[in-house]
Structure 1
């Protein structure tokens, strides 16, 4: 029984330190992948472009012509170029083209159909005289 009291806390400490080391390694990988021109998200949720990487800081362009200095630890994620573009400029152009063509097809299909009516009289008339196609 006394052995369990000693082993359980040691096991918990081991697991906590292990997860902390994983997070530190992931953060170091994120910080080492910072390059000028990369899109990033800060821990505050702000999206920006990396302008320059220094020893301890990063220069981020938060708006056209506006550069701010952040510590490397403030970078939560380095984004893929397409993901950054989709967030900043809305959806990528290829997604809009696909959705527009789907909407056009749906409008064309709806044009052939009769408008929906919730009237009981019209429902009875439709049930008694089905349309021939």
Structure 2
């Protein structure tokens, strides 16, 4: 037999060996992570539920999914064991300390510019039509007369000028 005919089979066997080896490494790391679980640790299940470990048994884990609500899960259903800071951030909404330099995103863009809702970025007041209804200027009087005249015609009354 020629070595050139055996080369594709050797490459195929080598690739299969490398793939199974990496899969075994991932399984070993996952098992090691699950063995490090202790009561009080925050975890995420493979279904995406966050909970606190209350008790660890040989093949199962007792989780507190809400205050006073406990559920038994298989150890294999634990997707990740979380650090305390990450668990508190996700579940309780507690942000990390200020010294960790985590950027804070404001709720709206007006807090970025420091402007009110009625002003432009240059600081000029915007006219949103709020003053036009109660204004008693030269323009408001003819508009009020036209409105009164229109209202009178709608009531069926005649114009007596």
What residue number does 2:141 align with?
Answer: none
Counterpart among 34, 41, 64 of residue 37 in structure 2: 34
TM-score (ref. length: structure 2)? 0.61
* Cα pair distance change 1:116/1:6, threshold 3 Å: farther
Cross-structure match for 1:7? 10
In terms of fraction of residues, the more helix-rich structure is: 1
Task: Describe the shift of the 1:25–1:89 C-alpha distance in structure 2 as closer, same or farther (beyond 3 A).
Answer: same
> Paired residue for 2:72?
69
Q: Which runs of 5+ in 1 are unaligned?
A: 118-133
Question: Could you tell me how far apart the structure 2 residues matched to 1:6 and 1:87 are?
Answer: 49
Residue equivalent to 2:135: none
The superposition leaves residues 40-67 of structure 1 with CA deviations (integer Å, 9 ceiling, x where unpaired) of 0000000000000001100000111111
Residue matched to 1:126: none
The structural deviation recorded for 1:91 is 4.4
1:1-133, aligned counterparts within 5 Å?
1-92=4-95, 94=97, 106=112, 108=114, 110=115, 113-115=122-124
Structure 2 gaps, min length 5: 127-161
CA deviation map 1:20-47 (0-9, x unaligned): 1111111111111100000000000000
Which secondary structure state, in structure 2, belongs to the residue aligned with residue 35 of structure 1? coil
Distance in 2 between residues matched to 1:31 and 1:85, nearest whole Å: 20
* Higher Rg of the two aligned structures: 2
**Whose RCO is larger (CA < 8 A, sep 6+)?**
1
Matched residues, number? 114
